Structure 1
Amino acid sequence: MQCSLCRGKAVYEAKYSGTYLCRKHFNDSVERRFKHELRKQVDLKAASIKISVAISGGKDSSVTLYLMNKFLGNRENIELTAFTIDEGIAGYRDSGLESARKLCEKLNVKHQTVSFEEVFGKTMDGIVKMDPETIPCSHCGPMRRKLMNLESLEYKSDYVALGINLDDYAQSILMNVVKGDFERMMRMAPHIKRKEGLVRRIVPLRRIPEKEVILYAVLNGVEFDGGWCPYYERAQRNTFRNIVSDLEEQNPGAGFAIANFLDEVREHITIGNGNTEMKKCTKCGAPTTGDLCSVCTSIGILDSMKDA
């Protein structure tokens, strides 16, 4: 097939737009959407900006760091750093850590690692053994988010960039809709307003489908770890991953439509979009909507199981 824009050899068919793209125009398309989201989510004209990138070593976070460095790495008013969270999952996290370290070294981006064990005194493998009935993501997700915020605060960052692609984003929106959790949906990144104790999360990949992230990485030599978490099969997200995939197959552009839906809602409703009243966790002091943050609640449950 020929590129719809230049008649060169096409490397990708964008079904949602009905176009075929050569390598150059495919890269241009991905980078244009990435830069558009950056401009929307970050005040790039500020005198001094610190951005942390949460990098797991997987495709999404690796491409996020690569593109952040490509477009922001040489700007005098912006400092980029990166960190990796080690959940303590044997046979899985080590390869991701190595990929993250190599990419950061290649891009000359400061990188450090923080682990569940050193902060919470637990590993995910240990948590799963302690609480085999609960879906592992129910413990892992809140702990990861808390460490992302703590690490970004340590860097004194203004923003923390997450590797969340369009498929991920659409899945999260639908998950919140099905759960009837409107407020949580409205609190999804990107975060425009700053809240005390919370570093604003940005998601510049949110307009780029997963398969485009993979192809971009391959075409541009961005090495990444392709391993899957061993607890992946138990994740509730799998159901919504299949739903979004089926919708996209039947109605190309469905992912964009779902993301656009949330943006439209946010334009008309302010609840949760920077205005939710936050408290401080009575145990650790972290920002939370309740008396205890989800991590302290989770650890309390796990500790009670250990003592039982």
Structure 2
Amino acid sequence: MAPKICVICSAERAVLKRPKTGQQLCRECFYTVFETEIHEAIVDNNLFARGDKVAIGASGGKDSTVLAHVMKTLNERYDYGLELFLLSVDEGINGYRDDSLETVKRNKEQYQLPLLIVSYEQLYGWTMDQIVEEVGLKNNCTFCGVFRRQALDRGAAMLKVDHIVTGHNADDIAETVLMNILRGDIARLQRCTAIKTLTDDSIPRSKPFKYTYEKEIVMYAYYKKLDYFSTECTYSPNAYRGYARVFLKDLESIRPSAILDIIHSGEAFELREEVKSKMPVQSNCERCGYISSNKLCKSCMLLDGLNKGAPRIALG
């Protein structure tokens, strides 16, 4: 059987089939289309301005490692004029986060980018290991998600950056759309599908991988031989997101475009004006000053529950 030839260059042997399009590509053409699509997402959506200081959310996993590599590559290739930093959050999970942060430290040297690590213990006085001891394995991801988001913002403020980029990919966003629909939380769809989010009181965030499939990120990391950490979080097997992920993978196996279809469906939802008028108004937490639609932000409410020994009341 004759080897398949790359459909783009028509010269080199194809070594992979793109999950997103089904195209048979050689390695170099895959690199080109992968990086070009991300560049176009950045330019088309005006994610950055020349001179911006940009923090890359770095966990050591495949998504953030590829993001750091691609952001540095594109910044130099297209002369964006950005000053890049790595920003990591140490949740305090022994045997998982401590190991992945060693990968981030190697990435710092490999990409020659400054690194700041902020920890839950430093910011909140609790590690995730201590929180799980207190609350068990059922609702621990709620605490971690709320704390991590605020920790990234606090770390970005320490770095005095203008922008945060995260490695959320198309699969992640489609999963979030499914979760919000299943929970009846339609109001969040517009925000969760936005490539860039901005409020008056927080540092802008964007997702350059919004249209990038997870499988292609893995393939890029593999062929580029990037250094990343691949172990799953110790506490994530019981996470609600895991069930949405399995469902999405089943859909993708039948219809590869399902991931982007779900994202576009989320984008198409619109709230009636009378519904918008009843939604909570965003202000600031009375205690820590973080953005909140209540007197206390979710982080402070969860911390109150932990510090009073009643974390389940805080969850409610």
Structure 1 length as normaliser, TM-score? 0.91
Q: 1:57 aligns with which of 46, 55, 60?
A: 60
Work out whether residues 61 and 230 of structure 2, in 8 Å CA contact, stay in contact via their aligned partners in 1: yes
Partner of 1:261: 265
Which residues in structure 2 correspond to 1:143-158 (within 5 Å)? 143-158=147-162
Q: 1:279 aligns with which of 259, 283, 289?
A: 283
Alignment of 1:138 onto 2:142: yes
Partner of 1:196: 200
Q: 1:61 deviation in Å?
A: 0.4
Q: 1:293 aligns with which of 290, 294, 297?
A: 297
Alignment of 1:241 onto 2:245: yes
Q: 2:118 aligns with which of 114, 119, 140?
A: 114
Work out whether residues 191 and 200 of structure 1, in 8 Å CA contact, stay in contact via their aligned partners in 2: no
Partner of 2:226: 222
Q: 1:268 deviation in Å?
A: 11
Alignment of 1:129 onto 2:133: yes
Which letter does structure 1 place at the counterpart of 2:162?
D
Partner of 1:12: 16
Using the TM superposition, name which of 47-56 and 186-195 deviates more.
186-195
Identity across the alignment (%): 28
Q: 1:23 deviation in Å?
A: 0.5
Q: 1:24 deviation in Å?
A: 1.4
Work out whether residues 193 and 263 of structure 2, in 8 Å CA contact, stay in contact via their aligned partners in 1: no
Q: 1:193 deviation in Å?
A: 6.1
Which letter does structure 1 place at the counterpart of 2:161?
S
Alignment of 1:183 onto 2:187: yes
Structure 2 length as normaliser, TM-score? 0.88
Question: Compared with structure 1, are the counterparts of its residues 226 and 175 closer, same or farther at alpha carbon in structure 2 (3 Å cutoff)?
Answer: same
Q: 1:106 deviation in Å?
A: 1.3
Partners of 2:80 and 2:170 lie apart in 1 by 30
State the secondary structure of the residue aligned to 2:267: helix
Q: 1:173 deviation in Å?
A: 1.1
Work out whether residues 190 and 200 of structure 1, in 8 Å CA contact, stay in contact via their aligned partners in 2: no
Gaps of 5+ in 2: none
Q: How many residues align?
A: 304
Alignment of 1:31 onto 2:28: no
Partners of 2:105 and 2:271 lie apart in 1 by 39
Partners of 1:114 and 1:227 lie apart in 2 by 21
Q: 1:2 deviation in Å?
A: 3.0
Deviations 1:253-292, CA, capped at 9 Å, x for gaps? 11011122233447999x98xx984211122110112222
Question: Compared with structure 1, are the counterparts of its residues 228 and 15 closer, same or farther at alpha carbon in structure 2 (3 Å cutoff)?
Answer: closer
Which letter does structure 2 place at the counterpart of 1:301?
G
State the secondary structure of the residue aligned to 1:95: helix
Which letter does structure 1 place at the counterpart of 2:52?
I
Q: 1:71 aligns with which of 67, 70, 74?
A: 74
Work out whether residues 57 and 88 of structure 2, in 8 Å CA contact, stay in contact via their aligned partners in 1: yes
State the secondary structure of the residue aligned to 1:258: helix
Question: Compared with structure 1, are the counterparts of its residues 191 and 34 closer, same or farther at alpha carbon in structure 2 (3 Å cutoff)?
Answer: closer
Question: Compared with structure 1, are the counterparts of its residues 166 and 193 closer, same or farther at alpha carbon in structure 2 (3 Å cutoff)?
Answer: closer
Work out whether residues 41 and 202 of structure 1, in 8 Å CA contact, stay in contact via their aligned partners in 2: no
Question: Compared with structure 1, are the counterparts of its residues 266 and 61 closer, same or farther at alpha carbon in structure 2 (3 Å cutoff)?
Answer: farther
Determine which structure has greater relative contact order: mean sequence separation of CA pairs < 8 Å that are 6+ residues apart, divided by chain length: 1
Q: 1:57 deviation in Å?
A: 0.3
Gaps of 5+ in 1: none
- The Cα RMSD (Å) is 2.5
Question: Compared with structure 1, are the counterparts of its residues 16 and 192 closer, same or farther at alpha carbon in structure 2 (3 Å cutoff)?
Answer: closer
